[in-house]
Chains A and B, each alone.
Chain A
């Protein structure tokens, strides 16, 4: 479906990718106070992140250059930022955020197991990401206080944010948050595998690269990560280095995969919010009426935008009788198809008594 991608599109996307990567490098440099807070042991992670940033920038740009995506992107912001609507839109945006992104209600309506699996995986991943990226970029660091081995100081962008004493709940949380995230993801993975291994429809449709490989990747990250904890606390550090390397490999591979595989939907998905604003605007605005049945079938804005998109894509929907096919509702299209084929058979003598007059037929024979 990636049609007519000109080299200029690719060039533009490459530039965007480079720009995003460069911004991240600059962010790392500045955020880590000229690399003073940067932990050199985490270079592979940072490097993979920079690559991922390039990929995401590239892919996002390519995506936005598709006419329908560009149209929705543009319209979504236009509708959202309409001055008279901004206050209401912000309220709506917060509501949507809670309903669609935090609670993920629409997935619950698809299937409860799917929802449970997705909710645990997504929030586990986002939680882990919220910790690990700032750490590996040197934006956040923990140090023992100068005056006490029992107290830890947390710094963000080099600024002292808070201190906590070892053994307090805060400390437990701070040091184990990645384990908690890993357990959340593992719970989600368990549900995912539970569903995918038994559900006849999933079994029929799933593909390894699309549906199973991402699960394998997340599993590898979680397990190696948890084993690091096990090694530290239970095995007195045995195999720690080897495990750390394994963990790094798993994470880096996932980061490299991020812009090109299933995980990219993380960046596409917020478009759902834009579409929601667009649909809300359409529902309250002028409606499109089908030229055949006169029924309301969409918002006029949607139909007009779609015509533009179709023009950009080279889809030529103007019928011989002057009707724009886009002005026909889907139900009438189906009826029209049936009528057209039925009339061909009538003309050929199948059906009652006399065939209809030839000029009544719109479906001409021959190409």
Chain B
């Protein structure tokens, strides 16, 4: 995997689903997309957000697995559950802080984004990041991303008091060094700071001079 790394800039996502369509084309996935693409709240905004596995250094999914079925490769890629071990309990699905693993009842197994292991292990890029038209998902070197993007790339997260370090980077504004998930955001629309606050995603409000 050399010095290539995976970077996410959620806010660039245009919701086109190329990543989802391409994910299913990977040899290890065979028509079963493993990436997630959420339409955040279509009534209020066109925002969408993709989610690949972040490949935590100490994956919570593996820690909560009763069957000891989730393993990392030596280069830090957390793989889909071992087929012979996974007992389909969905602990990982419920516990993953990023909401990544998927349980498929027909095969009674958890499968998840494995960074297209068949591709990345032979020097190719993951399907999703290769095709992503907005490059919200990007697979390149740290130097390249630092050269081409504003802000900074980080891989430290907190979920309450739980600190998580991931192999995958997220692109955030400069001087941020951790993304803190401290509260639930229910509203998708930012509001203006003016005297009469406006929903900046509501076209009708934008038209009110």
A272–B27 contact, CB under 8 A?
no
B13–A338 contact, CB under 8 A?
yes
Contact pattern, B 26-55, Cβ under 8 Å of A = 1, otherwise 0: 011010000010101100000111010000
**Most chain A CB neighbours (cut-off 10 Å) among B48, B62, B160, B197:** B160
Q: Is the interface of B mostly helix, strand, loop or mixed?
A: loop
B28–A205 contact, CB under 8 A?
yes
B183–A319 contact, CB under 8 A?
yes
**Which of A262, A275, A292, A355 is close to B89, meaning CB atoms less than 8 Å apart?**
A275
Contact pattern, B 105-140, Cβ under 8 Å of A = 1, otherwise 0: 011110000000111011000000000000000000
CB of B91 within 8 A of chain A? yes
At the interface with chain B, which of A62-70, A216-224, A229-237? A62-70
**Which of A297, A298, A352 is close to B200, meaning CB atoms less than 8 Å apart?**
A352
B-side contacts of A71, CB under 8 Å: 66
| In the bound complex, CA of A310 to CA of B161 (Å) | 13
**Which of B66, B109, B190 is close to A72, meaning CB atoms less than 8 Å apart?**
B66
A275–B88 contact, CB under 8 A?
yes
Interface range on chain A (Cβ under 8 Å from partner): 35 or more
B160–A106 contact, CB under 8 A?
no
**Which of A100, A328, A355 is close to B190, meaning CB atoms less than 8 Å apart?**
A355
Q: How far is the CB of B94 from chain A (nearest CB, A)?
A: 6
A310–B182 contact, CB under 8 A?
no
**Most chain A CB neighbours (cut-off 10 Å) among B65, B89, B177, B192:** B89
| In the bound complex, CA of A65 to CA of B60 (Å) | 17
A354–B51 contact, CB under 8 A?
no
| In the bound complex, CA of A329 to CA of B90 (Å) | 13
A-side contacts of B41, CB under 8 Å: 335
In chain A, residues 297-355, which have Cβ atoms closer than 8 Å to a Cβ of chain B? Answer: 297-298, 302-303, 306, 309-310, 313, 315-321, 323, 325-326, 328-348, 350-355
CB of B99 within 8 A of chain A? yes
A333–B97 contact, CB under 8 A?
yes
CB of B20 within 8 A of chain A? no
**Which of A69, A106, A200, A328 is close to B109, meaning CB atoms less than 8 Å apart?**
A106
In chain A, residues 88-115, which have Cβ atoms closer than 8 Å to a Cβ of chain B? Answer: 100, 106-107, 109-110
Interface range on chain B (Cβ under 8 Å from partner): 35 or more
CB of A284 within 8 A of chain B? no
Known: A292-B184, A306-B91, A326-B95. A69 touches B11 (CB 8 A): no
- In the complex, the chain B residue whose C-beta lies closest to that of A100 is B108
B193–A271 contact, CB under 8 A?
no
CB of B181 within 8 A of chain A? yes
A354–B160 contact, CB under 8 A?
no
B94–A337 contact, CB under 8 A?
no
**Which of A68, A265, A317 is close to B162, meaning CB atoms less than 8 Å apart?**
A317
| In the bound complex, CA of A56 to CA of B127 (Å) | 41
In chain B, residues 171-209, which have Cβ atoms closer than 8 Å to a Cβ of chain A? Answer: 172-186, 188, 190-194, 197, 200
B38–A338 contact, CB under 8 A?
yes
B93–A354 contact, CB under 8 A?
no
**Which of B59, B161, B172, B190 is close to A341, meaning CB atoms less than 8 Å apart?**
B172
B180–A363 contact, CB under 8 A?
yes
B-side contacts of A265, CB under 8 Å: 84-85
A269–B87 contact, CB under 8 A?
yes
A316–B84 contact, CB under 8 A?
no
CB of A159 within 8 A of chain B? no
Known: A63-B68, A315-B60, A330-B93. A201 touches B28 (CB 8 A): yes
Q: How far is the CB of A286 from chain B (nearest CB, A)?
A: 15
B28–A204 contact, CB under 8 A?
yes
A-side contacts of B5, CB under 8 Å: none
CB of B96 within 8 A of chain A? yes
B175–A366 contact, CB under 8 A?
yes
A362–B191 contact, CB under 8 A?
no
A330–B64 contact, CB under 8 A?
no
| In the bound complex, CA of A319 to CA of B93 (Å) | 19
A-side contacts of B47, CB under 8 Å: 338-339, 342
- In the complex, the chain A residue whose C-beta lies closest to that of B49 is A338
Contact pattern, A 188-220, Cβ under 8 Å of B = 1, otherwise 0: 000000000000110111000000000000000
| In the bound complex, CA of A184 to CA of B162 (Å) | 50
Known: A268-B67, A306-B64, A338-B38. A333 touches B99 (CB 8 A): yes
A318–B172 contact, CB under 8 A?
no
Q: How far is the CB of A215 from chain B (nearest CB, A)?
A: 13
- In the complex, the chain A residue whose C-beta lies closest to that of B64 is A68
B-side contacts of A161, CB under 8 Å: none
B66–A310 contact, CB under 8 A?
no
A331–B182 contact, CB under 8 A?
no
B181–A1 contact, CB under 8 A?
no
B160–A339 contact, CB under 8 A?
no
Q: Which 8 A-B pairs have the closest CB atoms?
A: A338-B49, A204-B118, A330-B99, A348-B173, A356-B190, A316-B161, A333-B99, A321-B183
13 pairs from A and B in contact (CB 8 Å cutoff): A1-B59, A2-B68, A66-B68, A72-B89, A200-B27, A204-B121, A265-B84, A269-B87, A271-B87, A318-B160, A319-B184, A351-B190, A363-B180
Contacts A268-B67, A320-B160, A329-B99 given; 11 further ones with Cβ under 8 A? Answer: A66-B66, A205-B118, A268-B85, A292-B184, A316-B162, A336-B181, A339-B47, A343-B190, A354-B200, A357-B197, A362-B182
